[in-house]
Amino acid sequence: MSTLEGGLSKITEAEFRDAAKNNAIKHASVLRTDRGYLFVVELSWKEGLHTLYTFRNEPRTWASLDSMMKYFEKHELNVNVITLQWNPKG
């Protein structure tokens, strides 16, 4: 996942909530990685792609799409449309 980490900027839950509230999310997608599912957003006010990070300074991943959606609901991280980029395990 280091190649992904190199191309993604950090975003906190608070920043994500503000972006969602202000309709500043241009695009949201979910990437399947070896570590789990990764949430990536493109913001209207900040260049590049961004992903949620944990307090341990690691990209936030989920074991399943269900657990990701439950996390979003619990923390009121609302996005209307999310693209899924499926990379089958080989």
Domain-embedded: residue 17 = yes
At 23, the pLDDT band (50, 70, 90 cuts) reads confident
Q: Is the pLDDT of residue 90 over 90?
A: no
Domain-embedded: residue 23 = yes
Give this prediction's pTM. 0.78
The domain of 77 spans 2-85
Domain-embedded: residue 15 = yes
Residues β-bridged to residue 49? 8, 42
The CA distance from 25 to 81, in Å, is 10
The CA distance from 43 to 27, in Å, is 7
The CA distance from 59 to 57, in Å, is 7
Query: What's the gap between Cα 21 and its chain centre?
Result: 16
Mean pLDDT, the chain, rounded, equals 84
- Over range 68-89, report the average pLDDT: 82
From the list 40, 10, 8, 42, the residue with the least C-alpha distance to 24 is 42
